[in-house]
Amino acid sequence: MIKNHVMNTYGRADIIFEKGIGTKLYDTEGKEYLDFVSGIAVNCLGHSHPVIVNAIKAQSEKLMHVSNYYWNEYNIKLSDILTKNSDHESVFFTNSGAEALEGAMKLCRKYGKTQSEDKDVILYLSGSFHGRTMGAISITGQPAYQKPFMPIIPNTVMVEFNSVEDLKSKFTEKVCGIILEPVQGEGGLSACSMEFLQTAKDLCEKNDALLVFDEVQCGIGRLGTLFAYEKFGIIPDVICIAKALGGGVPIGAFIANEKTSNVLVPGDHGTTYGGNPFVCSVACAVLDELINNGVIKGVDAKSEYMKSKLLELKEKYPSKISEIKGMGLLIGFKLEGSPKEFMTKALEKGLLVIYANNNVVRLLPPLNVTEAEIDAAIELLDKVFAEF
């Protein structure tokens, strides 16, 4: 057991990683691991990618941080990249996905109150996960996350995942917004149906409420498009992003469309570190690599290849894999057995995977993963299944 004074809030494996290159991680004993967790969908270009390393070196020698009372060039440049590649108008930079969701909640509440004092209800979905802050757990549809911290923020109402009937019954004139993940990550790689998303969009327009997509895990190329909403053809009013945006440095954002871009005014919301020149310069480099150097364009083909290999495993182990789940490179399988135990056995074999709810094992490789690396992961999974 590793001795330390870090607060015990994670079930950490008894391993210390000290370096990473591409899809490979190395611990302090020199053992090599194939990383199909990617920092939980953060390391979209893998470890120590030269584009990121060079951006870090260059900007750290120029300017790390200034207050948001002043402009910096990369804050402006990154906002331009995000808005030019979306259907949206303005960006607020945060340090994490949870903070992006907090900002989106405030945006919904203020937008509602410009119409009526009691238009303050926020809807969210069962099975969802939006972060660990008090606001984020108040819209997280998993009671286990909420119970120890009750009471949660009031006027947040849960809707049954993909139930159009339940959505319609709870979408009153008091609703100021609905926040959802188009593909639930922590919830088990389940995608919202087109009917559900279209109904949510129609109800928002009818009741002048905001549709917010949490794309923290499923966005920034993970589904094969820069933004997840592009895969569904439903344009939300607000998008929340983080994780892969910085490729490893902490940055998030919420992006607002034209009708919501001026709702928050000076004094309504703020951040000390959000949007500083260091993280924004790295994010610009990451997006350039993803968008302009073909990384995102290659995701669909890699996804199909991985799915075909997982289906072969399902045929080989029909009593252990019941379903292949997910989209793009947010992919995995429903396991007949303990996913936590499976993850531990995979780690022993030198493969990093992560589990989600409903007995789902997630595979989240870097977006520039090769077919040879996918083959190597499948071979290791095969060995785990043989002993599982």
Binding residues for N(2)-acetyl-L-ornithine: 132, 271
Q: How far from 128 is each of 144, 158, 334, CA to CA, in Å?
A: 12, 10, 17
> Cβ neighbours of residue 319 under 8 Å, at least 6 residues apart?
336
179 — phi, psi (to 5°)?
-115, 125
The binding site comprises: 97-98, 129, 132, 214-217, 271-272
What is the spatial order of strands in the sheet that 252-256 belongs to? 90-94, 252-256, 238-241, 210-214, 175-180, 121-125, 156-159
In the numeric block, the tokens 């809707």 are attached to: 159
Distant-in-sequence, close-in-space partners of 76: CB < 8 Å, separation ≥ 6:
none
Q: Do 246 and 286 touch, CB atoms closer than 8 A?
A: yes
Q: How far apart are CA 260 and CA 269, in angstroms?
A: 14
Cβ density class 13-46: b for 16+ within 10 Å, e for less: eeeeeeebebbbbeeeeeeebbbbbbbebbbbbb
Residue numbers belonging to the annotated binding site for pyridoxal 5'-phosphate: 97-98, 129, 214-217, 272
